[in-house]
Structure 1
Amino acid sequence: MSSAGAATVVSPAAPPRRRPRRRRRRRPVVAGLLLVVLAAVAGLLLLGGDAPFAPQTTVPVVRGTVTAEVSAPGSVVSATASDAGFAADGTVAAVDVAVGTPVRTGDVLATLDDGTARARVAAAAATLEADRRARDAAGAVPVPDPVALARLDAAIATDRAGVTEADGALDATVLRATQDGTVTAVAAHPGDRITATSPPAVRIADLTTLVVRTGIGPRDVAGMAAGQPATVAVDGGPPTAGQVADVAPAPGPDGRYTVAVDAMLPPTARIGQPADATVVLAQRTDVLVVPAAALAPDGRTVLVSGPDGERPRAVTVGLVGREGVEILDGVVAGQLVVVSDDPRTAS
């Protein structure tokens, strides 16, 4: 027993213990993100590692029509036009037409100062007349001198040639229309000095027969000929059907061949208006067709999609159109081929 008055010692109460907060486990989340990143990197490596995923889809091989065509800008011109220029040197005395003047073949367009030419004609005619008189006199004597007569006959022949030449020089001072049509340009004016190097004085065009003229490169013009189907669109308007009217046999200074397309142009069409021409080079109907984007860069492979995935397939290509490509061998109708914005050859 304890003795009386003994003090009782009480231990202080211990502070309550806080339960530690459990940390959220982040390892699974981090691992998931890592897997996503690795998968993306692996995908880029499979695609080549130099571009994002190219959008792609599959389309069936079908039977249809493939059209190969070539388009080029051009302008509206007259189907029949000509440049008229003086055949002689001289000074322009008068211009009888202006832009818009209708003319007929043979009409006078302009004239040169013909004073010198007329004097030459008069001199040639006088020389001829004098030799003719001398010939008549030499032949009228009782005993004509055959040598003198032969000499005069030769002189008369030369005089006649001189008269013809002088008349031609006088005619060359008059510029005449070589076709029916309308004057579309005048480059000569009274007082201008005309030489052999001067540009044509007047241009005439038949405004009732307008065509679209364009330039085609050597590679495309090889398959062009008069009569091939074509379309034209004048100044951004709707296309109208027509056909190739003419193909130049030689290239121009720019290396392109001039091609004229005849079509039913709108009533508002005018010479010089811009126009686009499209010529159909070839067409195949009822053939196997795949989109042009289905071909790999080598031009001989497509990716065929099937139950076991995508597999490269070698094909034989026929006619190549702007959108569709003819396939001669390698696939059959109904098979699915991959179409991609960035097609690649599978390895």
Structure 2
Amino acid sequence: MERLTPRQRRARGRRAVSALAAALMLAGVPLRACAGAEPYVAAHEQSVPQTLRAYGQVEPIATVPLRTVDAGTLSGLRIVAGSAVKAGEVLARIAGPRMRALLIAREQQLQAARAHESAAGKALAIELHQFDAQLSTRQALDAARAEQASAHAAVRTAEAALHEARSQQTVRAPAAGSILSVQAANGEQLGAGQAIATLQPAGRLWVRAAVYGADAARLRVGMTGRFKPSGEGAAMAVKVAAISPALAADGGTRIGLLPTAPKPPSWWVNGRWGSLVLEGPAQRMVLVPTQALILDRGHWWVLVHTPAGDKPRAVVPGPAQGWWTAIASGLSAGQQVVATDAFLDYHRGIARHYTPPD
């Protein structure tokens, strides 16, 4: 008598069971008929939380292009990509013949306005002296006062114009933040309105993600969820702040999410990728054992037990909860589904269509 080790006995037993199962399937016999366990399970309804999953990236909500106001030559540029700047900080200067000509013209306008103001003030003083001596009329005095007020306003306007021209010589940071890119260099001739750098304002980041298919219809502003960065870093609570009204070129719906915490973690930087899970309202759905689902040619099926036998039924699976899977459509609560060897039973007629190889 042949002596076998315990491992050899287990291997021989598995081969015998596999051979029997294959023979029964080819013969068209449901394998669950050989099992003592109850093969059917009643689908039951339960409240299932709805979740949406997507990938997202931390991006600036908006960037600020730093532009020249007037044409000139760039000089004194002290920033590079990644430089941290403060609000009002001087980043570069604009010089050149055109800028000098503008400053000279504004200074001359201011000098002329001041000379006019001085003359109008002297004329007003003369009119007041003559009016006191009853050598002038009230109408002439009022006209001198109006001329002096107009000359004073012209001086203020010329001073503001000169201040504006001088401010055009410098490019300042409108807000605190970081420089994303620099598009010009010292000595370059710039036109009016030309961008020299792009600023990312501090603290103005959010998560940009895309949701596809039927999940996009469940998106709502104010939905909450968690964003988990790739690699190391704890997940952070976020909420949907904006939903794009139009589809993107790839068919997705773009959304923007803001952090709910007052102080984001250290990994919250521009360009960080991660996974996003959004929590939607709970929905009543039918649950069946996951092993009852059958995938055939790109569609999902279950075998429903009826008085006339087990009939295949097309279903649309929803989210899974452990060993159970929710059914979005195609099945009602209380219906009996095959839960034991459903896949083999579904394909038990394969023997009639089987052609042995040559």
Query: Is the TM value for this pair above 0.5?
Result: yes
Query: Counterpart amino acid of 2:283?
Result: R
**Per the alignment, do residues 314 and 224 of structure 1 end up closer, same or farther by CA in structure 2, a change over 3 Å counting?**
closer
**In 1, distance between residues paired with 2:151 and 2:192?**
32
**In 2, distance between residues paired with 1:76 and 1:176?**
27
What per-residue deviation string (whole Å, max 9, x for no partner) do you get for residues 246-287 of structure 1?
2156559858534125389885565224334333343336x4
Kindly indicate whether residue 132 of structure 2 is the aligned counterpart of residue 131 of structure 1: no
**Per the alignment, do residues 83 and 217 of structure 1 end up closer, same or farther by CA in structure 2, a change over 3 Å counting?**
farther
**In 2, distance between residues paired with 1:294 and 1:105?**
62
Residue number in structure 2 paired with 1:246:
241
Q: How far is 1:150 from its partner? A: 3.8
**In 1, distance between residues paired with 2:287 and 2:110?**
80
Query: Counterpart amino acid of 1:272?
Result: G
**Per the alignment, do residues 203 and 288 of structure 1 end up closer, same or farther by CA in structure 2, a change over 3 Å counting?**
same
Q: CA RMSD in A?
A: 4.8
**Per the alignment, do residues 58 and 98 of structure 1 end up closer, same or farther by CA in structure 2, a change over 3 Å counting?**
farther
Is the 1:184–1:205 contact (alpha carbons within 8 Å) kept by the matching residues of 2?
A: no
Kindly indicate whether residue 282 of structure 2 is the aligned counterpart of residue 283 of structure 1: yes
Which residues of structure 1 form unaligned runs of 5+?
1-39, 44-56
Kindly indicate whether residue 70 of structure 2 is the aligned counterpart of residue 86 of structure 1: no
Kindly indicate whether residue 110 of structure 2 is the aligned counterpart of residue 110 of structure 1: no
Query: Counterpart amino acid of 1:106?
Result: G
Kindly indicate whether residue 80 of structure 2 is the aligned counterpart of residue 98 of structure 1: yes
Moved more, 99-108 or 238-247: 238-247
Q: Secondary structure at the match of 1:282?
A: coil
Q: Secondary structure at the match of 1:277?
A: strand
Residue number in structure 1 paired with 2:219:
224
Query: Counterpart amino acid of 2:281?
Result: A
**Per the alignment, do residues 235 and 312 of structure 1 end up closer, same or farther by CA in structure 2, a change over 3 Å counting?**
closer
**Structure with the higher fraction of residues in helix conformation:** 2
Within-5 A mapping of 1:138-287: 138-139=123-124, 140-141=126-127, 142=130, 143=136, 144=140, 146-147=142-143, 150-151=146-147, 153-195=149-191, 198-199=194-195, 201-206=197-202, 211-216=206-211, 223-235=218-230, 240-244=235-239, 246-247=241-242, 256-262=253-259, 270-284=269-283, 287=285
**In 1, distance between residues paired with 2:82 and 2:167?**
25
Q: How far is 1:95 from its partner? A: 1.7
Q: Say which of 48, 54, 59 aligns to 1:66.
A: 48
Q: How far is 1:165 from its partner? A: 3.5
**In 1, distance between residues paired with 2:282 and 2:234?**
19
Query: Counterpart amino acid of 1:305?
Result: H
Residues matched between the structures, number:
282
Query: Counterpart amino acid of 1:182?
Result: S
Is the 2:53–2:277 contact (alpha carbons within 8 Å) kept by the matching residues of 1?
A: yes
**In 1, distance between residues paired with 2:153 and 2:176?**
38
Alignment TM-score, normalising by the size of structure 2: 0.58
Is the 1:71–1:277 contact (alpha carbons within 8 Å) kept by the matching residues of 2?
A: yes
Q: Secondary structure at the match of 1:201?
A: strand
Is the 2:56–2:208 contact (alpha carbons within 8 Å) kept by the matching residues of 1?
A: yes
**In 2, distance between residues paired with 1:98 and 1:221?**
40
**Per the alignment, do residues 62 and 243 of structure 1 end up closer, same or farther by CA in structure 2, a change over 3 Å counting?**
farther
Residue number in structure 2 paired with 1:304:
304
Which residues of structure 2 form unaligned runs of 5+?
1-25, 29-38, 131-135, 347-358
**In 2, distance between residues paired with 1:134 and 1:218?**
77
Kindly indicate whether residue 101 of structure 2 is the aligned counterpart of residue 119 of structure 1: no
Identical aligned pairs, as a percentage?
A: 21
**In 2, distance between residues paired with 1:262 and 1:128?**
55
Is the 2:179–2:200 contact (alpha carbons within 8 Å) kept by the matching residues of 1?
A: yes
Is the 2:63–2:200 contact (alpha carbons within 8 Å) kept by the matching residues of 1?
A: yes
Q: Quick check: which has more Rg, 1 or 2?
A: 1
Is the 1:216–1:259 contact (alpha carbons within 8 Å) kept by the matching residues of 2?
A: no
